[in-house]
Homo-oligomer: A and B are copies of this chain.
Amino acid sequence: MTEFVLHPRLTADTTPVADWALSRVLLMNDARYPWLVLVPRRHDAVELFDLSGPDRRVLIEEVARAGRLLKGISGATKINVGALGNLVAQLHVHVVARHSGDPAWPGPVWGHGAAVPYAASARDALIAKIVAAG
């Protein structure tokens, strides 16, 4: 069993929030949308069907938990969930709080314009809220 190592692109684009039972939980450094990325700590998973059934059951619960939590914190209009991986193969699931009228609304956030980095204080405050609600 090879050790789990986060893909360098995910490391560069996010700040770690927590390790849940299966997933490393990351905050995307984009102040336009409250946006978590869940990365199952399985070094070789690319597709959902690469995970074991038990891992998938944990993952879907963690995705639901992340969505419920972001909805509660942000009052989102809709939670968007996506596992694309066209650029970064390592299996990761985006959970994004969308608001009617946000910069990409009603389209998807992926590939829409450039990220707007958080001020460190705003980022840390949001992470604290997520951890408290988590």
Q: Which residues of A contact B (CB under 8 A)?
A: 46-49, 51, 53, 56-57, 59-61, 63-65, 67-68, 71, 77-87, 89, 98, 105-108, 110-111
Contacts and interface: CB of A to CB of B under 8 A. Distances in A.
A108 B108 contact: yes
B56 A60 contact: yes
Contacts of A71: 47, 49
Nearest to A109: B108
A53 B61 contact: yes
Q: Please indicate which of the listed interface residues A47, A59, A105 has the most CB atoms of chain B within 10 Å of its own CB.
A: A47
B79 A82 contact: no
A108 B82 contact: yes
A95 to B, nearest CB: 9
Contacts of A78: 46-47, 84-86, 89
Contacts of A105: 86
A81 B111 contact: no
Contacts of A85: 78, 80
